[in-house]
Chain A
Amino acid sequence: MQPDKLVYMANQIATFFKSQPGDDGAERIAAHLRDFWDPSMRAHLCELAKQDDQVLDENVRKAVALLN
């Protein structure tokens, strides 16, 4: 899947949860990804998170860590 799209989608999710009260943003992103993303998409995102050149939201990076 095109990396830029996955990154874009993940960041969109992060933006929503950032606006929500509480400091469990990363957990909620991870839960959303687990609930709605097929495992291959999640795996791909995890791969991408390892590369520095991807502009991933900080909370997405935290969420990715929780996915494993």
Chain B
Amino acid sequence: MKDFVIPSDDRDLGTPAREGAPVTLQIDGFEVTVPEGTSVMRAAALAGLSIPKLCATDSVEAFGSCRLCVVEIEGRRGTPASCTTPVAPGMVVHTRNEKLRKLRRGVMELYISDHPLDCLTCAANGDCELQDMAGVVGLRDVRYQAPEGAGLANHFAPRNTSGEANPEWLPKDDSNPYFTYDPAKCIVCSRCVRACEEVQGTFALTIEGRGFDSRVSFGAKSDTALASDCVSCGACVQACPTATLQEKSVIELGTPTRSVITTCAYCGVGCSFKAELNGDELVRMVPYKHGKANRGHSCVKGRFAYGYANHKDRILNPMIRDSIDQPWREVSWEEALSFAAAKMRGIQAEYGRKSVGVITSSRCTNEETYLVQKLTRAVFGNNNTDTCARVCHSPTGYGLGQTFGTSAGTQDFDSVEQADVIMVIGANPHAGHPVFASRMKKRLRAGAKLIVVDPRRTETVQGPHYKAAHHLALRPGTNVAVVTAMAHVIVTEGLMNEDFIRTRCDWDEFQHYAEFVSDPRHSPEASELLTGVPAAELRAAARLFATGGNGAIYYGLGVTEHSQGSTTVMGIANLAMLTGNVGRRGVGVNPLRGQNNVQGSCDMGSFPHELPGYRHVKLPEVRAIFEQAWGVEIDPEPGLRIPNMLDAAVAGQFKGLYCQGEDILQSDPDTKHVAAGLAAMECVIVHDLFLNETANYAHVFLPGSTFLEKDGTFTNAERRINRVRQVMAPRNGYADWEVTQLLANAMGANWRYTHPSQIMDEIALTTPSFAGVDYATLEEKGSVQWPCNDANPEGTPLMHVDGFVRGKGRFIVTEYVATDEKTGPRFPLLLTTGRILSQYNVGAQTRRTDNVVWHDEDLLEIHPHDAEQRGINQGDWVKLASRSGETTLRATLTDRVSPGVVYTTFHHPVTQANVITTDYSDWATNCPEYKVTAVQISPSNGPSEWQEEYQAQAALSRRILPAAE
């Protein structure tokens, strides 16, 4: 198995690719055929005749400022810049001759005259395009000198020889934790500025001044990188040809010498990265330009926030204890595993086969998840398996399964480039799915329209050079009413795509549905009182979506995490079918999946009622496949879901849990109930990187491995199966799949996997949608989107092209039912929750990196009006109370939230926002209603009693005895 992959063609071709009719020209005597619109520079590079360049790079549009790339074109006057000159049929180009050589040397000489010559000690030594170009053009000497008595006339020397300060010199800015800006080395090529604009869409950088005074600046409103609008995506650092913008890790560790292609382990965008290393020391992560999800871009988390892998809190030795009031005891792997196995078997003997279960991880690989669910189905002998998708996208599974027949997004991310109207519902891609957001914003800047449905005015609503056409700021909990009202407008105004409906959907069901939505009680005017969305605005949004061209819907947890989560998903599917927006590029229904492998963990049979590939355990023909592969009998009845496991634990029926890479105590709602459930169990096995909150209630701790330390695959929100490749040996000794295998074998299974590729082969063998997936295919194609099998050997970028997976699309009636979580005199405000860009989920990883400089505590957003009524000022400590519990945190006053609504994130365990959330859940899937909780807020002067008790318990529970000799 070839695991270290050196990227094949990773060259910088100078300018971006174009699509168009083929054009043939001649460059240095060679015939070259490229798409119309391609630059001469790119055409030459494609033919292997690269032209010297400085200000061009293929991630951004050409700018034509350095003039190093000049060429001669027969029949044209002068020497045009090849980066800004498009090819033409029959063109004859010369890239090398004496005249060009002279010109280029002249350009280089000028550049170098204003550049320090300390290459040997520069962080970019060996990785600097200025250095390379000086070599390529044959620069041998720099003749320019500052004129006598006229000052230094350079930007790099802090003082002249008599010690006077050079006014042109600016000090290094190292305020950003991950990269530095050293103006002394800048050649003002503006690649960084263009990357920030075109690739990232933040517009944090500008070139200030003119001519010799031109400087890169982090905006006018501040002096430093950290204080600016910069979101630390690193696109500028990657684009910079010199050491001006440089990763601090490279400054510290030196330039990398080898690289491995792998996949980000944070969010569901699933960006591909080149992990660049020296030996097994990771120097930097560079987004991989051939990564099909990210196309060479990344966010601050994936690129920079990997330091947790070496954080001192990481636990590297297995630990056990008999009861949770004891300190941990470090033991050998053998002892920990036999202890765990004996406990689990003992529990099953005493309380029955079904008294134990597993939670699979959406952060682990497909192969690992597959093994964990196999552990419960084949070794424990029950179907008690669930995953954190329960608490995020389980309604997507149910809702899309019912309407379309598959529970996954319909498009690839590239599709957004063809969307005309983009509707984002209950999601804030700016923070949650940043690289998708960048790609979407690019499309919006090019003129596509945006509709945002969100109670809060998120960063997605408005950004540089775009603004949502409509922001429907609904009351939390009224998604179904809004979506149904949109359908009402589309149907009653006759804006639906009847052709599509007749040919692709069940016509009878549509009739029912049309009758249902046409009822005046679903009109925007009737629902306005309920939803708080002005009827005229909603009507306008519905008309735009139905008539504005390709309509694409992207949605997130603001849709699913409600009592009616599944119903809203069906409503969204209805909207897409009504308007014919399924089955081609630029349209579709796209759940934005939260965690890196939450799609994969669902695909791999993590749910208690489904075997891998979304096939119900009740189906004998499906069970037969696995019974044959595994040599065991499979329980035909669905098992317990996470909330059910906890309920059963409190009731004394559920006693043992193996929880891999998931912190249910922090991430699941109603913390007190989760704690009570965990406390009632006799054996909780936590398999994680850190002593997380759940581990406070654990008896066995099995150290986990990071994504850098193992092989496997992740499946992103576009169903794309990406390879995760080991770049260093597991610090804890074993990859997670090996640990699960050891546990299974300690319990008597006889598993003999020696590489994750064998697990994938088993998945392919048993699961039709993965039948064509194996590591050799992934090696060859880079990635594939499932279904990948004989019918779709190349994978499936777009689903439901000629028909829905289930045959005819089903319209389902979506009646709004108010949640029982209602405001009243005691709890008059509605709390909703979300996340921010720099932190990820429960923060276990990102809190252990420098990302904390952007967010070191969770804050409560409250409208100034509500704050004033309660005597709360900016930055005050406030008590946040619901019927479940109370906590304290600091308040920030903002009109991003409407009066009556408050908002917080849940990245920090001290805050424990989930002490507040209740146990209400989606009717179909038990996905908890995180997004609506009735609360009250009052001034406070410190942590609540619960927070103090909790901290004390956590501290007690985290004690570790020194290992016995």
Contact = CB atoms under 8 A, between A and B. Distances in A.
Contacts of A9: 921, 923, 926
A19 B644 contact: no
B647 A1 contact: yes
B648 A1 contact: yes
Interface stretch (B17-25, B422-430, B633-641): B633-641
A19 B608 contact: no
B616 A35 contact: yes
B618 A34 contact: yes
A32 B638 CA distance: 11
B923 A13 contact: yes
A35 B926 contact: no
Interface string B500-533: 0000000000001000000000000000000000
Contacts of B567: 16
A55 interface: no
Contacts of B609: 35-36
A40 B648 contact: yes
A38 B925 contact: no
Nearest to A5: B647
A19 B816 CA distance: 9
Contacts of B923: 9, 12-13, 15-16
A38 B637 contact: yes
B54 interface: no
A12 B618 CA distance: 24
B960 interface: no
Contact of B638 (A1, A16, A37): A37
B154 interface: no
Max chain A Cβ within 10 angstroms of own Cβ: one of B638, B641, B812, B919 = B638
Interface string B605-630: 00011000000101000000000000
B729 interface: no
A2 B650 contact: yes
Contacts of A21: 512, 813
B796 interface: no
Contact of A36 (B354, B648, B813, B924): B924
A5 B608 contact: no
Interface residues of B, number: 32
Contacts of A5: 647, 919
A20 B563 contact: no
A41 interface: yes
Given A1-B644, A1-B648, A5-B647, A38 B924 contact: no
Contacts of B608: 38
Contacts of A12: 563, 923
A4 to B, nearest CB: 10
Interface string B805-827: 00000001111010000000000
B647 A38 contact: no
Contacts of A1: 644, 647-648, 650-651, 653
Contacts of B383: 38
Interface string B782-823: 000000000000000000000000000000111101000000
Interface in A1-38: 1-2, 5, 9, 12-13, 15-16, 19-21, 32, 34-38
Nearest to B564: A16
B625 to A, nearest CB: 19
A40 B641 CA distance: 12
Interface string A27-63: 0000010111111110000000000000000000000
A37 B641 CA distance: 8
B650 A36 contact: no
Contacts of A40: 354, 648, 653
Contacts of A16: 567, 815, 817, 923-924
Contacts of B512: 21
Contacts of B354: 38, 40
B817 A35 contact: no
Nearest to A20: B813
A31 to B, nearest CB: 10
Contact of A15 (B616, B618, B817): B817
B946 to A, nearest CB: 21
B648 A2 contact: no
B638 A35 contact: yes
Nearest to A17: B923
Contacts of B640: 38, 41
A8 to B, nearest CB: 8
Contact of A13 (B637, B641, B924): B924
A40 B608 CA distance: 14
Contacts of B926: 9
A33 to B, nearest CB: 10
B264 to A, nearest CB: 33
A9 B563 CA distance: 10
A68 B553 CA distance: 42
Contacts of B384: 38
B896 to A, nearest CB: 32
Max chain A Cβ within 10 angstroms of own Cβ: one of B567, B608, B647 = B647
Contacts of A19: 813-815, 817
B618 A35 contact: yes
A39 B637 contact: yes
Interface in B640-656: 640-641, 644, 647-648, 650-651, 653
A2 B647 CA distance: 7
B355 to A, nearest CB: 10
Given A38-B640, A40-B653, 6 more contacts: A1-B650, A5-B919, A12-B563, A13-B923, A21-B813, A36-B638
Interface of A: 1-2, 5, 9, 12-13, 15-16, 19-21, 32, 34-41
7 contacts: A5-B919, A13-B923, A16-B817, A19-B817, A21-B512, A35-B609, A36-B925
Nearest 9 A/B pairs, CB to CB: A19-B815, A12-B923, A1-B647, A21-B512, A39-B637, A38-B640, A1-B651, A16-B923, A38-B639
